[in-house]
Amino acid sequence: MTEQPSRIRVWHRPMRSRDRGEHHRVATPLELLFDLCFVVAVGQAAAALHHALAEGHAAHGVTSFAMVFFAIWWGWLNFSWFASAYDTDDVPYRLATLVQIAGGLTIAAGVSRAFEGDFRVIVAGYVLMRLSLVGQWLRAARSVPETRPAALRFAAGIALCQVLWILRLFLPPSTAAVTFVAVVLCELAVPVVAERSARTAWHPHHIAERYGLFTLIVLGEVILSATNAVKEGTSESGHLGALISLAAAALVLVFSMWWLYFDRPGHARLVRRPGMFTAMSWGYGHYFIFASAAAVGAGLEVAVAYDTGTLHLSGVAAALPATVPVAVFLLSVWLLHIGPTNECRPIAIGFPVTAVLVLAASFTPAPIHVTAGLAAALVVLTVVATHGSPSPA
């Protein structure tokens, strides 16, 4: 009888708001599982983009990738910020999170259909994932009075957006682009409206770690995509030397992207400027970091196919799928982590200049090698400019 209350608390603990200054606030195993399952959807989106680019449907592929990636990223973002503010880790919380993971895997299953214009499977997974989050927000509203107004607005806004996504399926295909943008704007507005009445207590170090971990997973997906492409390319005789050289360049490129993203502590800007605008711009802006990093993998696959002669595109057309996302990645990291007004002018100027040079590399005979060299040179610049000292935590 004396142990019964302990078992009840393990089953269902009161949800509480986390302390923004809590020490040793790190990602939980459940959050890591959430990320690993979501990377399946990222991989599917990158693979579909690669096929569209290889078939010469660049505009359609990029547009579909951007739409699909929004569903992946937005579902991940909403869970991550909620978990940073209210992580309770009891049985109901875990079950609700597992439902969201199931929704993310459903989205992954519908990626190929979405590239063909059929978003029904993705919407089904998205609604499953997001309605589970609505339940979490309602639980937070019941348990945490100080953030109840924000929690109720989150729950109502998310539920309304899911209704709009479902209604969009029944509209004429000619309205697809306009209605997608309209509902996306509604989704982006929900946190802005909800947080105006009462701020949720997300943890800056924890949320920066969560974003960093997802960046790592996406970069891992890039390495996997490039490795698989090189493996398939080795079956073609006469291209082994070119593939080894391309693989080395791709590895240098990914290592450089990792270095440049993690060279500055991700939480620094959130701590220095704790306002809602900084949190929103930093959190939303990572869409371009995640999406561009994932797209690099598709671009490297296109480059491998071009070098092995299995892709009939011009050299520039085969280079742009890799150089454009690398340039977007560099500009996004510059805006979110470095800043145009950074006190270290060589670094502040180096990022946008390198991005422009990467785009120009598309017109060179070896665009991937030149891009990798430019990214590595930017790493050297950051090391020299900071005298090799690690950035302060």
Number of H helices, E strands in the chain: 15, 0
Give start and end residues of each alpha helix (H) in 234-333: 240-262, 268-272, 276-307, 315-333
Query: Any residues with CB less than 8 A from the CB of 349 and at least 6 apart, and which?
Result: none
Judged on CB neighbours under 10 Å (0-12, 13-18, 19+), 73 is buried
What is the token pair recorded at 315?
Answer: 């050299």
Determine which helix (DSSP H) or strand (DSSP E) holds 345, and give its type and residue range: helix 345-360
Cα(161)–Cα(135) distance, rounded to whole angstroms? 15
- DSSP state letter for 173: G
Q: Give CA angle at 382 (381, 383), nearest 5°.
A: 90
- Whether the pLDDT of residue 21 is over 90: the answer is no
What does the pLDDT look like over 196-241, one tens digit per residue?
Answer: 877 787 778 888 889 999 999 999 988 888 887 777 766 655 667 7
Chain-centre distance for alpha carbon 216: 10
Cα(322)–Cα(366) distance, rounded to whole angstroms? 12
Cα(78)–Cα(363) distance, rounded to whole angstroms? 40
Given the structure tokens 């080795």, which residue do they identify?
Answer: 234
Percent of the chain beyond pLDDT 90? 49
What is the token pair recorded at 203?
Answer: 């943890």
Cα(390)–Cα(265) distance, rounded to whole angstroms? 10
Cα(66)–Cα(104) distance, rounded to whole angstroms? 16
CATH fold group of domain 204-385: I/LWEQ domain (1.20.1410)
What does the pLDDT look like over 124-147, one tens digit per residue?
Answer: 999 999 999 999 999 998 888 888
- CB environment 184-212: b (16+ within 10 A), e (fewer): eeebeebbeebbeebbbbbbbbbbbbbbb
Determine which helix (DSSP H) or strand (DSSP E) holds 157, and give its type and residue range: helix 148-168
User: Model confidence at 339, in pLDDT bands (50, 70, 90)?
Assistant: confident
> Which pLDDT does position 48 carry in this prediction?
92
Q: Provide the residue ranges of all domains of the chain, joining segments of one domain with +.
A: 26-194, 204-385
* Phi-psi sector, 299: left (phi>0), alpha (psi -120 to 50), beta: alpha
Percent of the chain beyond pLDDT 70? 88
- From the list 292, 353, 293, 299, the residue with the least C-alpha distance to 322 is 299
- CB environment 304-328: b (16+ within 10 A), e (fewer): bbbbbeebebeeebbbbbbbbbbbb
CB 41 within 8 A of CB 61: no
Cα(294)–Cα(257) distance, rounded to whole angstroms? 12
> Which pLDDT does position 63 carry in this prediction?
93
- Whether the pLDDT of residue 107 is over 60: the answer is yes
